[in-house]
Amino acid sequence: IVKLIKMSKKYLPSEPVCYMMGTEDPRFSLASFLKACGPTGKSGYSGPELRKLCEHKTVFRILGFRSVLTVDMNKRADFKIDLTSKIPIEHEGKADLVCEFGTLEHIFDVKSAIFNMNRFLKPGGIIFHMCPVSSYRHGFLNFNPAFLDSLYLGSGFELIFRTMNMT
């Protein structure tokens, strides 16, 4: 995730806004995150704080994002929005970066969800998807890597990075 975000910074404004689909936080310590960041990771954290698990908002703040707003259907979300319904107009075109790190496989109406995730983007914005390719007993759907490539390239988007991690 850190590699993706750092790589995307050259395409984003100096203090970008991120909309994060879902509210689940990463499962790594702040210390391991700062180590992975290298010289970019200026946090002001020390001691016991470094052993705590990271939160997405902390990760993006350290990487220079102005704000990170979560979108989900639970109480923890900054915005309670159903990705299969029309999103409120006040959220259209607000995000420089949209991150979907494991939400799409839980939604049956994939077409509406992807359409709405893209409506959050400002013109020229970036969207990240991290979807399971083959994950038994997780989510409802698994995605062939060619699905997102075909969808976005066929819609006029530019592919700037792709990777696969089979576990």
At residue 138, the pLDDT reads: 74
**pLDDT tens-digit map of 117-129:** 999 999 999 999 8
**pLDDT tens-digit map of 3-19:** 777 788 889 999 999 99
At residue 41, the pLDDT reads: 46
**Joined tokens for residue 27:** 């499962």
Lowest mean pLDDT among 3-7, 18-22, 97-101, 142-146: 3-7
Instruction: Name the one residue in this structure whose structure tokens are 């006029």.
Output: 156
Residue with more model confidence, 50 or 29? 29
Can you give the pTM of this predicted structure?
Answer: 0.84
* Contacts with 104 (C-beta within 8 Å, 6 or more apart), sequence order: 21, 110, 113, 114, 129, 131, 141, 143
- Asked if residue 69 lies in contact with residue 96, where contact means CB atoms within 8 angstroms, the answer is no
Confidence of residue 136 (pLDDT cuts 50, 70, 90): low
